[in-house]
């Protein structure tokens, strides 16, 4: 049980664009937010300084790590790492970065000679700064994430966050949960469990064959039954949208009566208009783990699910 006094010992800092989440998080989680000074110097260096004492406090630091026109992903990452070290220097009892979108998580193994394993290097940097545990949402490969970090990781799933929005769309129609590749089959299984528990139904499962050569993705075979069902295509992120487009085409060709695309992180880089304008897509449901540009959020078929209530509950439960 979480007591009010325990919550009072915890402090939460929100850095950069994550400050936009502060009011909602405060409302839902009754969390104590603390102020931070953020300064950028003429030469591009920066300083972040807590404006309250953190000694013996249980500290959470929320940071959106996706790059944008103002700061790159590396800029935001460096600021977070330096701030974690600052908190430890000033006596924080425990420091937990909350990073809904964790960059470099996809580079968790070597696929070519002399490749980096950047996910592991990232984990080492967090640990070197004094991180006690990391909270993230829908990592690309949970097993690889847990192997990379020696400190505890709290992995949250998009199914917990987005399922209600999906249920509102599908009503009582038969559904199939589809992974756009075999590697995401475990993620799709988790979605099926959550959906079945919410709806009392029995969703079928399917995944697509996927081949990558020279940066080109191909393969359109569907393993599983989507005929006569709403296809719910689930992935950790949408970048250019090419993977989703391929999956939509394959599901429609195999008789899906509708398609809902779901992902935790919507980056929507160059070329994603092909997905957003795709005639075979009925709904696109994502969370606001990264800032999403207005040209995406204004589209009628796109639904953005706020992550703030979910994060507030998680943080309160970790105090």
Q: Does the pLDDT of residue 265 top 70, yes or no?
A: yes
Rg (CA), the chain: 20
Q: 178 and 190 in one domain? A: yes
Give the start-end residues of each E strand in the chain: 10-15, 36-40, 46-50, 58-63, 94-99, 134-137, 153-156, 175-179, 204-208, 211-213, 216-218, 222-224, 230-238, 258-266, 283-287, 302-305
Q: Helical H runs in 137-204?
A: 142-148, 158-170, 185-199
β-bridge pairing 204-208 and 36-40: unpaired
Task: Give the pLDDT score at 205.
Answer: 92
Residue 177 maps to which CATH number?
3.40.50.2020
Please give the Cα distance from 92 to 50 (Å, whole number).
11
Residue 120 falls inside a structural domain: yes
Q: Which pLDDT belongs to residue 200? A: 85
Indicate whether 31 belongs to any domain.
yes
20 assigned to some structural domain: yes
Residues 152 and 163 occupy one common structural domain: no
Question: How far apart are the C-alpha atoms of 257 and 143, rounded to whole Å?
Answer: 34
pLDDT for 149 beyond 90? yes
101 neighbors 137 (Cβ within 8 angstroms) = yes
Please tell me the least confidently modeled range out of 130-139, 227-236, 303-312: 303-312
Greater confidence (59 vs 3) lies with 59
Let me know if residue 293 belongs to a domain: no
Residues 6+ apart with CB under 8 A from 310: 156, 160, 161
Whether residues 132 and 14 share a domain: the answer is yes
CA 199, CA 192: separation in Å to the nearest integer? 10
- pLDDT tens-digit series, residues 207-226: 997 655 444 455 568 999 99
Beta bridge partners of 136: 99, 155
pLDDT of 182-209, one tens digit each?
Answer: 889 999 999 999 999 988 888 999 999 7
Give this prediction's pTM.
0.89
219 and 150 in one domain? no
Instruction: Name the residue range of residue 31's domain.
Output: 4-156+308-318
Q: 164 and 263 share a domain?
A: yes
Domain count, the chain: 2
In a domain, 215, yes or no: yes
pLDDT bucket at 3, cuts 50 / 70 / 90: very low
* Phi, psi dihedral angles at 69 (to 5 degrees): -65, -25
* Beta-ladder partners of 143: none
Are the beta carbons of 144 and 109 closer than 8 angstroms? yes
Asked if 95 and 110 sit in the same domain, the reply is yes
* CB of 122 closer than 8 Å to CB of 80: no
pLDDT interval class at 167 (50, 70, 90): very high
Task: Looking at the structure, tell me whether residues 84 and 166 fall in a common domain.
Answer: no
Residue 300 lies in a domain: no
Q: Are residues 113 and 184 in the same domain?
A: no
Are 262 and 286 contacting, i.e. CB atoms less than 8 angstroms apart? Answer: yes
Cβ–Cβ < 8 Å for 305, 165: yes
Q: Is residue 303 part of a domain?
A: no
Do 216 and 87 share a structural domain? no
Q: Residue 294 falls within a domain, yes or no? A: no
Q: How far is CA 53 from CA 24, 96, 231, in A?
A: 24, 16, 51
Same domain, 141 and 192: no
Please tell me whether residues 70 and 172 are part of one structural domain: no
Residue 22: what pLDDT?
81
**In a shared domain, residues 169 and 135:** no
Q: Which candidate, 79, 61, 83, 187, places its Cα nearest to that of 135? A: 61
């Amino acid at each position: 049980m979480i007591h009010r006094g325990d919550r009072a010992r915890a402090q939460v800092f929100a850095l950069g664009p994550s400050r936009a989440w502060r009011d909602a998080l405060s409302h839902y989680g009754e969390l104590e937010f603390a102020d931070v000074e953020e300064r950028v110097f003429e030469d591009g260096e920066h300083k972040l300084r807590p404006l309250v004492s953190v000694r013996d406090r249980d500290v959470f630091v929320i940071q959106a790590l996706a790059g944008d026109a103002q700061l790159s992903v590396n800029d935001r990452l460096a600021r977070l790492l330096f701030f974690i070290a600052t908190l430890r220097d000033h006596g924080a009892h425990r420091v937990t970065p909350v990073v809904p979108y964790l960059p470099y998580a996809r580079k968790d193994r070597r696929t070519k000679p002399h490749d980096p394993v950047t996910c592991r290097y990232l984990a080492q940097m967090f640990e070197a700064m004094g991180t006690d545990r990391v909270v993230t949402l829908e990592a690309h490969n949970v097993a690889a994430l847990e192997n990379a970090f020696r400190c505890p990781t709290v992995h949250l799933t998009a199914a917990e966050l987005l399922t209600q929005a999906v249920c509102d769309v599908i009503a009582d129609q038969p559904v199939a949960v589809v992974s756009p590749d075999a590697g995401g089959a475990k993620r799709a299984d988790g979605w099926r469990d959550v959906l079945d528990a919410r709806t009392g139904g029995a969703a079928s499962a399917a995944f697509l064959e996927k081949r990558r050569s020279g940066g080109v993705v191909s393969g359109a075979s569907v393993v599983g039954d989507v005929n006569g069902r709403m296809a719910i295509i689930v992935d950790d992120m949408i970048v250019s949208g090419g993977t989703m487009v391929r999956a939509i085409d394959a599901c429609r060709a195999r008789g899906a009566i509708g398609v809902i695309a779901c992902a935790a992180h919507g980056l929507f880089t160059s070329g994603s208009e092909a997905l957003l304008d795709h005639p075979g897509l009925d709904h696109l449901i994502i969370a606001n783990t990264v800032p999403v540009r207005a040209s995406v959020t204004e589209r009628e078929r796109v639904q953005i699910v706020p992550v703030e209530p979910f994060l507030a509950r998680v943080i309160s439960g970790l105090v």
